[in-house]
Amino acid sequence: MGAMENLFIKFRKDKNLNLTQAAARCGVNKSTYLRWQNGQARVAITSLDKVSKATGYSRKKLRPDIFGAAQ
């Protein structure tokens, strides 16, 4: 899950957000966001659309294990 970790760090850095702010934009608590960022968890299917809209990353990019690798 190393590539996923980089997506969430990149999002925070690009938007100049702290952990709490990034989590709020994605509609989750900061511990969930931190697990995503650290590669300890994947974005739940039920959260994909909201997280995709918040981050600008496609569902494929967020969950290539389900939707295939992003091109």
Residue 15: which domain range? 1-46
pLDDT score of 2 more than 80: no
Average pLDDT over residues 62-69: 90
Is 62 inside a domain boundary?
no
Looking at the 3D structure of the chain, how many domains does it have?
Answer: 1
Is 54 inside a domain boundary?
no
Average pLDDT over residues 59-71: 86
The whole-model pTM stands at: 0.86
Is 13 inside a domain boundary?
yes
Question: Would you state the pLDDT for residue 71?
Answer: 58
Question: Would you state the pLDDT for residue 69?
Answer: 73
Is 31 inside a domain boundary?
yes
Dump pLDDT digits (tens) for 8-56.
999 999 999 999 999 999 999 999 999 999 999 999 999 999 999 999 9
Is 8 inside a domain boundary?
yes
Is 7 inside a domain boundary?
yes
Gap between the Cα atoms of 32 and 42, Å rounded: 9
| Greatest pairwise CA separation for the chain in angstroms | 30
Return the residue matching tokens 């690009």. Answer: 14
Gap between the Cα atoms of 49 and 42, Å rounded: 14
